[in-house]
Structure 1
Amino acid sequence: AIEHFVHGLGLLLAGHDAALDDCATSELVVRLRSALEPFHASGEVLRPDFGAYGELRVDGDLLDAATPVAAWLSFDDRSMRQLPDGRLQAVPRQRVCLSLTVTLHPCRIVDCAVFLEQMA
C-alpha cells in the first residue's frame, strides 16, 4: 500500500489523476487533492523523481491487525518543475519524509504528513 500511495502521490504532483482509493482513505485523498489544487491552478506541475531508493521504518505490532502502525518513508527528491510554457526548472534538492499512519486490515494509509529538508 505504501509503494502504491507514493506512486499515486507522484502522479498527483505531475497533474495526473491517481486512483488512490484502494490504498488510502477517501478523506486523505480529498485532503491531498485540495492541498495540491493551488499549485495546479498556477499551471505548473512537477516531473517527479523520487530516486531509486528510500528508507522505510515501521513502528507498531504487525501481528495486531486491529491497531494501526506508524510508518516513515524518507527519500531524496530530484524532481523538476515544469512551468506553464513547458520549460523545466530545477527544484532545490531536498530530503522528503512522509509520516504515515497505516491500518493493517485492510492495509490503507489513513493519515499522511510531509516534511521537507533542504539538502546542500
Structure 2
Amino acid sequence: MLRLRKKTYIPFTVLLILQSYIPSTLFLMLGIIELSLYIIFVLKGKIPINIIPGFNILILFLLWGAVLGLINFNANGIAIRDYVRDIFYYSSPLIFMPIGMIYGKMNIEKSEF
C-alpha cells in the first residue's frame, strides 16, 4: 500500500473519476480553471512557454485548423455548431496535457519510473 501512495497523485485521480460523472464541457471548464489558478498562484502569472516539448506546435496546429475551418465554413456553408464542436474536441487535450505534466513533475521522482 505504501508503494501505491508514492506513485498515485490524489488530485489527478479525482480528475479521472470526475470525468465519468460530469459533462465534458464542465470538465473542460474545470481544467481551464485549474490551469489558470496554477499559472496565477504558483507561477506568479508567468505563462510557461514550453511546458511540454513540442507543445507550441500543437497550439499552432489548433490555430491553423481554426483558420482553415473558418475558410471552409464560409465556402461550404457548414453549421457553426460543427465548427465550435471541432474546436472544443481539439482544444480539450491541449488543456489537460499541461495539467498532467505539472502533476507528473510535482511529486514523482525520475528514479521511480
Q: For this structure pair, what is the TM-score category when the shorter chain's length is used for normalisation?
A: under 0.3
Structure with more helix by fraction: 2
Kindly indicate which of the two structures has a greater share of residues assigned to strand. 1
Q: Which one has more relative contact order, counting CA pairs under 8 Å at least 6 apart?
A: 2
TM-score (norm 2): 0.27
Compute the TM-score of the two structures, normalised by the length of structure 1. Answer: 0.26
